[in-house]
Amino acid sequence: MSGGIRRPDAGGTLLALSNVYKAFPARKSFFSAEVVSVRAVDGVSIDVPRGKTLGLVGESGCGKTTLGRIAIRLLAPDAGTIRFEGLDITHLSGEALRLTRRRMQIIFQDPYSSLNPRMRVRDIVGEGWHVHGIARGKELRERAERLLVRVGLTAEAGGKYAHEFSGGQRQRIGIARAIALSPKLVVADEPVSALDVSVQAQILNLLKDLQEEYGMAYLFVSHDLRVIRHMSDQVAVMYLGKIMEHGPSAELFREPLHPYTRSLLSAVPMLGNAPQERIVLSGEIPSPTAPPPGCRFHTRCFMAQPVCAEVCPLLREAAPGRFASCHFVG
């Protein structure tokens, strides 16, 4: 597998992204007409096991949301391969893509802008059933009411509009919409970052309960390490469009390998066995329009050597089941 991660057996892998690239055109500056390329995802390979959660963590702008949207083909990759349930969906379109999307859904970050204000809640939740001809009319209404009760709302909520609910309640509506078609994969894109802390735990626990009940896999995108540790079986750490480290959640939090992961965990010492001494990164995150040569992280890394600025390290197995993109790990 490109990028260094060995694939689990085919029966255990639901989603496999191989050597995926995505760039966007952008103006060089506000006052410039020159167009440059922003490399949001740069040669990433990840696997999501069936019924498990892969946490994707990194700083804002690292490309994790873009990768999540590529995973379910809301965005098409510039290069690379996407396989879902063993099927190559990289270039699917039309009816074939529409049918595949029944089995993959997304929960958006902002529960305020992701729900149609002109639709009643039951129609938002049941839109997938309507589009795919599964239920309409009275049957759709009854199904939607049962699902709303399952996610912690009332059956009467179906007759209301999104603006009548709080942020946490709106996110429950978004979750109900996402699971209505019983998908195999759900991309959760920062699903609790816009919510009050008091509500976040409720939503996370709901997501875990639903995963166990429906057997879904999650690609869970977040910048919050506490959330990632709570939700994830496996964790991939992303920086400037590349994966820096990947491995089982418990092991990664107990003993991070990559210097970038170590620095992230040192900022949240209550996570357990994170480094006791705070590792302060120097400098700013480089611009994705002009990433540094060699290792993307070398301009801020406390372990950097001359080779880091010249040679980009491969994501390789540094310990059993543990992968890191660093010349000096393993």
Residues 6+ apart with CB under 8 A from 269: 275, 276, 278
Please check the confidence at residue 1 and state whether its pLDDT lies above 80: no
Strands annotated E in 147-259:
185-189, 217-222, 234-239, 242-248
Q: What is the pLDDT of residue 283?
A: 75
| Whether the Cβ atoms of residue 47 and residue 59 lie closer than 8 Å to each other | no
Q: What is the pLDDT of residue 60?
A: 87
Quote the pTM value: 0.91
pLDDT one-digit tens code per residue, 130-169: 988 898 899 999 999 999 999 999 999 999 999 999 999 9
Strands annotated E in 166-276:
185-189, 217-222, 234-239, 242-248
Which helix or strand (DSSP H or E) is residue 197 part of? helix 197-214
pLDDT one-digit tens code per residue, 30-56: 777 788 889 999 999 999 999 999 999
Edge-to-edge strand ranges of the sheet holding 185-189: 104-107, 185-189, 217-222, 53-57, 234-239, 242-248, 322-324, 316-319
Please check the confidence at residue 5 and state whether its pLDDT lies above 70: no
Average pLDDT over residues 15-36: 87
- Pull the structure tokens for residue 279: 């590792």
For residue 151, give the 3-state DSSP assignment.
coil
| Whether the Cβ atoms of residue 45 and residue 56 lie closer than 8 Å to each other | no
Average pLDDT over residues 94-101: 91
Q: What is the pLDDT of residue 269?
A: 65
Report the b/e string of 237-262 with b at 16+ CB within 10 A.
bbbbbbbbbbbebebbbebbbbbbbb
CATH number assigned to the domain covering 10-118+161-324: 3.40.50.300
Q: What is the pLDDT of residue 8?
A: 39
Average pLDDT over residues 188-216: 94
pLDDT one-digit tens code per residue, 206-232: 999 999 999 999 999 999 999 999 999
- Pull the structure tokens for residue 108: 């958006």
Q: What is the pLDDT of residue 133?
A: 87
The secondary structure of residue 73, as a DSSP letter, is T
Q: What is the pLDDT of residue 270?
A: 63
Cα–Cα distance list, 117 to 52, 163, 170 (Å)? 33, 7, 11
Please check the confidence at residue 6 and state whether its pLDDT lies above 50: no
Average pLDDT over residues 248-265: 94
Q: What is the pLDDT of residue 272?
A: 54
Q: How far is CA 15 from the centre of its chain?
A: 12
pLDDT confidence tier of residue 276, bands split at 50, 70 and 90: low
